[in-house]
Amino acid sequence: MNIDHIEAFMYVVHFNSFHKAAEAMFLSQPTVSARIKTLEGELDSELFERQGRGIILTEKGKAFIPFAEQIIRTFQQGKKQLKAGSDLEEITIGANIITSQYFIPFALPLWKKNNPGLRFKFISATNEELLDKLLRKQVDIAFMKEVTHSGLRNHKTLDNSIRLVVYPGHPFQVQTELSVQTLAMEPLVFFECGAFDWNQVHKIFEVSNVEPRIEFQVNHLEVAKSLIVSGSCIGFLPYLCIKKELEEGTLVEVDVSHLIKIKQHIYLTHINQGMEAPLLWNDILFSIQEFGQNRHPSPLQSNR
């Protein structure tokens, strides 16, 4: 009996759809159907019945569910045990680049302190890579941009809104109701790295028919931030990367909410488990609260 066939059965049970199960497993619908057909042959029992365009579980299908769950659970536990080589339970956490740099170094020690019997594995990757790893069950939970997928659940966690920041003493620090024309005259750094839709920033200049004075265009947050701190320019940056500098006063936020509002969050994403909360849920909520109230360590030096 193939574990892939049993997993396909549980996915179809969960989504009540061959099509949705195939989407969640990154397989074609015929492949999922073939796996179910093979499983039914091995069990010598029909597990699903067609009802119009939908499907329903047969009585034998319902009876097989607890055994399927036990087989999958035992297989996963055995796989983790062999991989870890110890009695420690392992959790694999993923995060996109910006969360990896500015939140994870703060949170991981807290999670480990509260869960000494848990082995932590951490992966830093792009949002697209994290989505793939979640669906392939190579990552248990991931901090990333919101995704729309029937097999995943998103929980809004960290505020990562885009803010206009300047160096201390800049005239904008005391100016109210800043105009687009005045903003366009200042030297700007644009950080382009897929963090959000930069067209929103470009749009405020296009609508007013003015050309922004973009002196620097970079793909590294720390470079962009350092240029602003040095007094070379001003710029729009995501909150997570400037939280420390705003607290210390080495950067100052300028209110431009009358011109543009770019709200964005980091989401905690995991396989849809119904109403069941993901592992570490309470610890994660606590670490986010602490992160908002405390200064945090310097970011990791690497950046993709």
Mean pLDDT of 135-153: 88
Joined tokens for residue 168: 């201390």
Domain range 162-254, CATH class: alpha beta
Mean pLDDT of 265-279: 78
Mean pLDDT of 255-283: 83
Provide the pLDDT for residue 117.
Answer: 84
pLDDT tens-digit readout, 18-46 = 988 887 777 888 999 999 999 999 999 99
3-84 maps to which CATH number? 1.10.10.10
For domain 89-159+265-293, give the CATH superfamily. Periplasmic binding protein-like II (3.40.190.10)
Provide the pLDDT for residue 195.
Answer: 46
Provide the pLDDT for residue 47.
Answer: 95
pLDDT tens-digit readout, 202-212 = 888 988 999 99
Cα separation, 264 vs 252, whole angstroms: 20
Are 236 and 224 contacting, i.e. CB atoms less than 8 angstroms apart? no
Mean pLDDT of 134-152: 88
pLDDT tens-digit readout, 79-91 = 766 765 555 578 9
Cα separation, 159 vs 269, whole angstroms: 15
pLDDT tens-digit readout, 243-261 = 999 999 999 999 999 888 8
Cα separation, 138 vs 130, whole angstroms: 9
Joined tokens for residue 299: 């970011």
Same fold, 3-84 and 89-159+265-293: no
User: Domain limits of the chain?
Assistant: 3-84, 89-159+265-293, 162-254
